Amino acid sequence: MSAKEMLSSPDSTLLSDTLATLRRVIFGVVAGGFLGVVVGVGLGSVRLLRAALEPTLSALYVVPKLALLPLFMTILGLGERPLLAIVSWTVFFYVWIYTMEAVIAIPEGYLEAARSLNASWLRTLLHVTIPSALPQLFVALRVGVNVSVIMIVAAEFLVGTTGLGYLIFDSRRIFSNDAMFVGIVIVSLMGVTLAGIVAWTGRRITPWARSSRLD
C-alpha cells in the first residue's frame, strides 16, 4: 500500500495503529510517572530509605529495558499487558531519578522555614517539597515521553501485532517503503507533539522556573 493509499483508504490500519501506540505511550507515562514521583519523593525525603533502596534501583536501571520484555511476557502473558509494562517501567526510572535528585537539592532554608512554622509533614510535602521539585519533574516527563515512544516502537517491532512499530516492521518485510516511511514520520511527530505538550504544561504550572530545559 502506497503512502497516499494509507492516508486515504478506509481499509488502512494507519489510524488504529497510531492510536494503539499513542494509548500505550500515554498509559506508560501516567503509570510510570506516578510511581516515579512517589518513589522519588520518598527516597529523596527519607535518607534511610534512600540508602536501603537506591542501590537496588540503580542496578535495575542499568539493565536494558528490552531485555526485560521476555520476563514481562512470562509474568503477564501475551498481548497488551507486557507492552504497557515495559513502557511504564522505562518512564518510571527517569521520573524517579529526576524527582529524587530534585528533592535532595531543595535548599535546607526552605525546610527550616516550614519547621519554624510548625508545618506538618503533609503540609511541608504539599507546599515545599513538591513545588520545589516540579520543574525537574516536568523535565523528567519530557525525557520520559520521548524515551517511551522509542521503547514502545521497539517493543512493537518484536512482539506487537498492532501499533506503529509493527506497521513499520511489517512494511519493511513486504518491501512497502512508502508505508514504512509514513510510520517513521508519524512516530517522529508523535514524540515531538507529546514532548511539546509536556513542556507547555510545565511552563504553565511552574511559571517561577527559569530552566531553559522547559523552553
User: What is the predicted pLDDT for the residue at 9?
Assistant: 56
Nearest partner of 148 among 41, 4, 56, 33, judged by Cα: 33
User: What is the predicted pLDDT for the residue at 36?
Assistant: 92
47 in Cβ contact with 158 (< 8 Å): no
Name the stretches of the chain with pLDDT < 50.
2-3, 211-215
120 in Cβ contact with 59 (< 8 Å): no
User: What is the predicted pLDDT for the residue at 215?
Assistant: 47
pLDDT tens digits, 49-74: 889 888 999 898 888 888 888 899 99
Classify residue 121 as exposed, middle or buried by CB count within 10 Å of its CB (0-12, 13-18, 19+). exposed
* CA–CA distance, 109 with 113 (Å, rounded to integer): 6
User: What is the predicted pLDDT for the residue at 65?
Assistant: 86
User: What is the predicted pLDDT for the residue at 203?
Assistant: 86
157 in Cβ contact with 168 (< 8 Å): yes
Torsion, Cα of 146, 149, 152, 153 (10° steps): -130
Q: Taking the model in full, what pTM does it have? A: 0.83
129 in Cβ contact with 106 (< 8 Å): yes
Give the distance from CA 72 to its chain's centroid: 18
84 in Cβ contact with 28 (< 8 Å): yes
Q: Other C-beta atoms within 10 Å of 209: how many?
A: 17
